[in-house]
């Protein structure tokens, strides 16, 4: 199945390290990060899940629930979680899906046959409270993800969902944002009273409106 930005994220029920979970019920009115890793007891995946666990407070602050996945069985997940906690100095407190039948992997297109016919690549989906897919990123098995970048993108997605702004290259929380072309220049002062600067008629900046 080929999913694209704006598509409704498929619902599913799966066994996880935290028991059986229905995705939509787990999501509730929160945002979600659903991400796959190639296999348990592998070095890059161990660091990735450790990093995710260390950022638990950051995800909670943004009303984001995390759900990981691999095609390994549940008993391996439980043993591996102990290793992650020990080696990364964290406590993994988010569910890891045991997708042995590859049901969820195939539903979300996480298996790329030209990379591996049996294991998932490092796919990551950010899903909004409206159950729509907001971000899709796929990494090869050899490259660990930058979860600080994932948080940065979530900040942008949550900001731009509520204001008529976009975020420029390398934007970080608290920096100036771009006023979208749909807003006329003469309407900017009323919409963005913190001020604005015009670089070009199509390139207008304003302080982050929710700060």
Active site residue 96: no
The DSSP letter of residue 45 is H
d(CA 112, CA 120): 7
Q: Which of 45, 71, 90, 104 is catalytic?
A: 45
Where residue 76 falls (left for φ over 0; alpha for ψ -120 to 50; beta otherwise) is alpha
Sign (positive/negative) of CA torsion 177, 155, 143, 133? negative
Buried b (16+ CB within 10 A) or exposed e, 77-102: beebbeebbeebebebebbbbbbeee
Beta strand 133-139 pairing with 64-70:
unpaired
Which positions are catalytic? 45
């Amino acid at each position: 199945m080929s999913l694209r930005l704006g598509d409704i994220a498929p619902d599913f029920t799966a066994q996880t390290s935290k028991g059986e979970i229905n995705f939509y019920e787990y999501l509730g009115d929160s945002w979600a990060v659903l991400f796959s890793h190639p296999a348990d007891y592998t070095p890059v995946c161990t660091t990735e899940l450790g990093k995710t666990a260390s950022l638990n407070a950051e995800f909670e602050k943004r009303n984001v629930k995390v759900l990981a996945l691999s095609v390994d069985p549940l008993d391996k997940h439980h043993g591996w979680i102990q290793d992650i906690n020990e080696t990364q100095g964290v406590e993994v407190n988010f569910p890891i899906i045991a997708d042995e039948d590859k049901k969820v992997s195939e539903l979300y297109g996480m298996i790329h046959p030209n990379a591996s016919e049996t294991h998932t690549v490092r796919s990551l989906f950010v899903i909004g409270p409206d159950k729509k897919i907001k971000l899709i990123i796929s990494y090869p098995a050899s490259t660990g993800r930058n979860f600080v970048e994932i948080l940065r993108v979530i900040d942008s997605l949550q900001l731009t969902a509520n204001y008529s702004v976009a975020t420029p290259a390398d934007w970080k929380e608290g920096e100036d944002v771009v006023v979208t072309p749909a807003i006329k220049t003469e309407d900017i002062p009323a919409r963005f009273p913190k001020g604005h600067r015009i670089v070009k008629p199509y390139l207008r900046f304003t302080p982050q409106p929710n700060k």
